[in-house]
Structure 1
Amino acid sequence: MSAAPLLAVDGISKSFRGLRAVSQASLTVPQGGIVSLIGPNGAGKTTCFNMIAGVFRPDEGGITFDGRRIDGLRPDQICHAGIGRTFQIVKPFKDLTALENVIVGALRAEKDVRLARRKSEAVLDQLGMLDKRNQPAAQLTLPERKRLEVARALATEPKLLLLDEVMAGLRPTETDQMVAVFRDLNRKHGMTILLIEHVMRAVMALSQQVVVLHYGQVIAGGAPEDVVRDPAVLECYLGEEVEA
Structure 2
Amino acid sequence: MRPVDKGAVQGPFTDHRQARDLLIDQLGDYCCYCERPCDPDVEHVEPKGLPQYTYRTLDWDNFLLDCSVCNRQKWDDDPRVLLHYFPHEVNTAYAFRYDEASNEVVSNFNVSTHPNEHGAAERTIASLIDLNRRLDSDGRPDRRWKKRREAWQAARKARQRHLSNLPISQKDIESIRALALATGFFSIWLTVFQDQPAVCLDLIQAFPGTRQACFDLATGLPVPDIHL
Report if TM-score (shorter chain) is over 0.5. no
Q: TM-score, normalised by structure 2?
A: 0.27
Query: Which structure's residues are more often strand, by fraction?
Result: 1
Q: TM-score, normalised by structure 1?
A: 0.26
Query: Which structure's residues are more often helix, by fraction?
Result: 2
